[in-house]
Structure 1
Amino acid sequence: MPINIRVDSKINDRLRDFRDEAGRRLGRSVSVIEAINACAHVMNKGL
């Protein structure tokens, strides 16, 4: 089942930038959910 996530365009732009950079570093495409999970992990690491 597909997951539909709506985010503000400013946040969407940052996610796209993150996905592009992660894809370049990993040598493969990075899904939206992978990017969201990675960002959530980094944000929650400080808590």
Structure 2
Amino acid sequence: KDNQRIKDAMRNAVVEKAKWERNIPRIEKMLSIESNDEAKIS
């Protein structure tokens, strides 16, 4: 039973990591837009 919990946790971690990695380009785009706005203001 404990082994199954560990396997589930590892699978969830892999899924979360994949989701995060898919989101990185979007996050980077948002961050670059924010820093561009700051550059325009100053």
Looking at secondary structure, tell me which structure has more helix per residue.
2
**Shared fold per TM-score greater than 0.5:** no
Please say which structure displays the higher CA radius of gyration: 2
Highest relative contact order (Cα 8 Å, sep 6+), 1 or 2?
1
TM range (shorter): 0.3 to 0.5
TM-score of the pair, normalised by structure 2: 0.45
